[in-house]
Homo-oligomer: A and B are copies of this chain.
Amino acid sequence: MYPELLAHIKRYVKLTAAEEQLLCEKIEVKKVKKRDFILEPGKHCVGNYFVVKGLMRQYLVNTKLNEQIFQFGLENWWIADQDSLMTGQPSSCYIQAIEDSELLLLNEKNRVALIEQFPALETYFRMMMQKAFVAAQRRIGFIFNQSDEERYRHFSKLFPEFMQRVPQYMLASYLGFTPQFLSRLRAKKI
């Protein structure tokens, strides 16, 4: 049984003991070391990964050959390339471990099969998508309406522990500014 995952799902939908059992039988445990990849460009994303322990990042290498991080995955978050899952096309991004991590993979074929017997699971995944969409929309609002410095302060206030955990250059990539700009900001001891 996977207590972290079941507890997370129960925050959103009800689960019977039989449904818990059914779900847990379909889960695969994936232990990855720091710097390991679970997805690379040209490969298909096979399903959704729930982070039990550790920290992941999802990024593209853009036309200027810079790494552009567009998603982090930490404990109790799901991470996947939804684009590849949705279209069935190969991915154009990387998903890599920033720390040694323990993940639970729910393969997309298993997810689809489970939903037939367990429709509330689809409600849970609809809610996860809705949360992710709302977060992405808020992020677009912050990008347009806040200066780089305001965005940094705001993010620091929301996620103080996370800020200590993630390497500086990755934080700069996620927030859309250069590592040099981030160093200057930090030097001001904001």
Contacts and interface: CB of A to CB of B under 8 A. Distances in A.
Contacts of A176: 143-144
B139 A68 contact: no
B83 A140 contact: no
Contacts of A133: 82, 129, 132-133, 136
B129 A140 contact: no
Given A129-B130, A130-B86, A62 B137 contact: no
Interface stretch (A95-103, A118-126, A155-163): A118-126
Contacts of A132: 129, 133
Nearest to A139: B140
A48 to B, nearest CB: 11
B83 A134 contact: yes
Interface in A125-177: 125-127, 129-134, 136-141, 143-145, 176
A141 B83 contact: no
B127 A125 contact: no
A123 B131 contact: no
A115 interface: yes
Contacts of A16: none
Contacts of A62: 141, 144-145
Nearest to A133: B133
A76 interface: no
